[in-house]
Structures are given as structure tokens and as C-alpha cells.
């Protein structure tokens, strides 16, 4: 909503005092996947989080809603003039998913449903995951960038994408600004790849993975062969913000935009999305998912997935 320009201001107001806040920054620094714990004494389904100790799930006759005191003090002002507190905005658009011990069951967009294909598709899901030894040394997403940097750290995911993962003729760092991906890689008239990168110190971080998948889904529309590409022409010849890193990491600058346009206008090219992460061990994940198929869940199941899209 913020990126689309639909929100004009976000602020916190309590005791007659008003303070502007960066809601995107707040959300980016909090887990999006949270455990729900049933408190026998209060009979509340408490959402385990660091922001609001009063945050709970409440079951109504036909719906599940989020309730809490602090979120009521955060207000969102839309460009239409409408003002809603954050809690009302979350419940109004049902911006969350609730999962249960039975992983086939989900509650989303005010609907309780069962996905019978989830367990059955585990083997196909595992086939989509590829491993690379170079990611074992990854310790950050972009590394330490200074004003004199001319490349990303070799042990950052960005650096590893450039040196060990990308196989395309051209590779453009599209991170920041009007980005479609962290990197756009393409080989003329053959394929276009969007690379989305995420680093996390938490192994099997559902929050980090959800964030990355959401980013990828949001940008799928940018694969459209009728997409306006002029903004990318400026990026091709630009430097990464605050340093000397050239955005065009691979390929000839003089032919890049021409080849990009021709490739995008080709109806027969392969379009791929690649998620590059350093917090997942495929062997361990495969073991845990096979346990789920046998109804022996060992992975700690997060039950509340909040995804307030900004």
C-alpha cells in the first residue's frame, strides 16, 4: 500500500501525543510468523510476540479476528482521507493466515479450508530446491558496503549470486528503488530470471521465507512481455546507492538495453524466479517433511501468519 502510494501517513497516538512512525520498518523488524498459545487461565489464544502482550486471536461465530490494545493506537491515513487504526485495517482485509496442528487446515480471508494437495505435493516441492556449496559460506545478504566498495562481499548472498549462481549473459542489480527483483539475469532471446535474496541467522525462518515469497509473488507481473522497460535503462548505467558498485554486473552496457527489450518482446523465452537463501538445509528439510507425510510433525508449527502488505 505504501509502495502503491495509497497511504499518506502512519502515526502512533496516545495520551494526546502524536508521533509519526515508519510502519514498513517496524514490520520488517518483527517476525511475521508467530506461535499461538492457549492460556488455560484466561482462556485466550495468545499471539506470542515482542510488540503487544495483549495480542490475541478471538473466535467469533463465523470468523477469527485479531485483538490487542497497542495496535489500536497506530493509525493509517489513506490518500482518500480515510483513517483506520492498524488493528481495524488488519481485520477489515483479513491480512493474516491461521494454521493448525493439522497442517492441511488453514484459515484465510475469513474462510476455513482444507488443502488436500499440500502433503501430496511435498516431493514436487523438494525437486524445486537446489543446493550450492558456495552458500555455506554466506554470512549476510549484501555484506559491508562502503563509499569505496566496487563489488559486494564475496561471502554475501549478492556476491555469491554474481560469482557462483548466475549463468546468464547479462546480470543487472535491480535492488532498491523501483525494483522487480534483487537481480535481473537474462540471456538474449532465451530466458529471463528474477533473483530474490534473503539472509537470516535463524534456521528454517518461516518469517524470512514468507517475506521473500511475498516479494517474488508481488513482482510476477513484471514478467509481462509488454512491460515498460525504460526505467531499467537508467539503472543499467547507474551505480548502486552510496558506493562504486556498477549495477550492470555482467554483460556489455552498450548492448544491454537493446537485448533486454528484444528478449522481453519474445513470446518464447523461459521466465524463471529464483529464491536464494542461506537459512535452509535441504537434507534436514526433506527429513522433516517426510515426517509430516507420516503424520509425525517435528517442525515447530507457527500458527499465526501476519502479512500486512505495504
Is the domain of 89 the same as that of 187?
no
Q: What's the confidence (pLDDT) of residue 212?
A: 87
pLDDT for the residue 19: 92
Same domain, 87 and 147: no
- Flag residues of the chain having pLDDT under 70: 1-5, 26-31, 205-206, 225, 295-310
Q: In what order do the strands lie in the sheet with 183-187?
A: 248-250, 170-173, 183-187, 191-198, 270-277
What are the beta bridge partners of residue 99?
106
Q: Are residues 109 and 139 in the same domain?
A: no
Question: In the beta sheet, which residues pair with residue 13?
Answer: 18
| Residue 13 sits in the same domain as residue 112 | yes
pLDDT at 30: 66
For the chain, what is the domain count? Answer: 2
DSSP 101: S
Q: What is the pLDDT of residue 29?
A: 65
- CA dist 264 and 159 (Å) reads 26
Count of Cβ atoms closer than 10 Å to residue 182 Cβ: 23
Is 167 within the bounds of a domain? yes
Domain for residue 249, yes or no?
yes
Q: Using one digit for the tens of pLDDT, what is the confidence trace for 21-45?
A: 887 776 666 667 788 888 889 888 9
Residue 234 lies in a domain: yes
What is the number of other CB atoms lying within 10 angstroms of the CB of residue 163?
13
Residue 286 in domain: no
Q: Is 226 helix (H, G, I), strand (E, B) or coil?
A: coil
- Asked if the structure places residue 292 within a domain, the reply is no
Q: Does one domain contain both 104 and 232? A: no
The predicted structure's pLDDT at residue 1: 52
Same domain for 139 and 207, yes or no, is yes
3 state DSSP class of 150 = coil
* 111/175 same-domain check: no
Nearest to 183 by CA among 274, 71, 100, 73: 274
Convert the pLDDT of each residue in 159-182 to its tens digit.
999 999 999 999 999 999 889 999
Distances (CA, A) of 273 to 52, 61, 123, 134, 179: 36, 41, 19, 19, 14
Per-residue confidence (pLDDT) for residue 200, from 0 to 100: 86
What domain range is 59 assigned to? 7-121+301-306
For residues 139 and 272, state if they share a domain. Answer: yes
Nearest CA to 260 out of 218, 212, 222 is that of 222
Is the domain of 17 the same as that of 138? no
Residue 67 lies in a domain: yes
Q: Are residues 42 and 170 in the same domain?
A: no
Question: Is 139 in the same domain as 234?
Answer: yes
Q: Is residue 295 part of a domain?
A: no
3-state DSSP call for residue 253? Answer: helix
- Would 288 be classed as within a structural domain? no
Q: Which of 233, 230, 203, 198 is nearest to 215 (CA)?
A: 198
- pTM for the model stands at 0.71
pLDDT for residue 308: 37
**Same domain, yes or no, for 187 and 233?**
yes
What letter does residue 163 receive in the DSSP assignment? I
Amino acid at each position: 500500500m505504501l509502495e502503491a502510494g495509497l497511504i499518506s501517513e502512519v502515526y502512533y497516538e496516545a495520551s494526546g501525543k502524536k508521533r509519526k512512525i515508519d510502519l514498513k520498518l517496524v514490520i520488517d523488524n518483527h517476525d511475521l510468523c508467530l506461535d499461538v498459545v492457549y492460556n488455560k487461565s484466561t482462556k485466550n489464544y495468545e499471539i506470542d510476540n515482542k510488540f503487544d502482550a495483549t495480542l490475541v486471536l478471538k473466535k467469533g461465530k463465523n470468523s477469527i479476528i485479531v485483538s490487542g490494545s497497542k495496535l489500536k493506537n497506530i493509525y493509517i491515513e489513506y490518500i482518500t482521507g480515510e483513517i483506520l487504526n492498524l488493528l481495524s485495517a488488519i481485520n477489515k482485509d483479513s491480512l493474516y493466515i491461521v494454521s493448525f496442528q493439522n497442517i492441511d487446515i488453514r484459515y484465510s480471508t475469513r474462510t476455513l479450508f482444507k488443502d488436500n494437495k499440500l502433503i501430496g505435493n511435498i516431493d514436487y516441492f523438494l525437486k524445486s530446491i537446489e543446493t550450492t556449496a558456495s552458500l555455506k559460506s554466506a554470512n549476510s545478504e549484501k555484506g559491508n558496503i562502503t563509499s569505496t566498495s566496487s563489488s559486494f562481499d564475496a561471502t554475501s548472498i549478492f556476491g555469491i549470486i554474481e560469482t557462483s549462481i548466475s549463468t546468464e549473459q547479462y546480470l543487472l542489480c535491480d535492488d532498491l528503488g523501483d525494483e522487480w527483483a534483487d537481480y535481473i539475469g537474462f540471456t538474449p532471446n532465451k530466458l529471463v530470471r528474477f533473483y530474490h535474496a534473503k539472509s537470516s541467522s535463524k534456521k528454517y525462518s518461516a518469517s524470512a521465507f514468507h517475506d521473500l515469497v511475498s516479494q517474488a509473488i508481488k513482482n510476477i507481473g513484471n514478467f509481462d512481455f509488454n512491460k515498460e522497460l525504460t526505467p531499467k535503462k537508467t539503472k543499467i548505467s547507474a551505480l548502486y546507492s552510496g558506493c562504486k558498485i556498477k549495477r550492470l554486473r555482467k554483460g556489455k552496457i552498450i548492448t544491454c538495453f537493446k537485448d533486454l527489450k528484444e528478449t522481453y518482446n519474445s513470446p518464447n523465452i523461459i521466465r524463471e524466479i529464483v529464491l536464494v537463501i542461506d537459512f535452509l538445509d535441504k537434507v534436514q528439510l526433506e527429513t522433516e517433511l517426510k515426517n509430516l507425510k507420516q503424520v509425525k510433525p517435528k517442525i515447530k508449527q507457527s500458527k499465526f501468519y501476519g502479512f500486512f502488505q505495504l
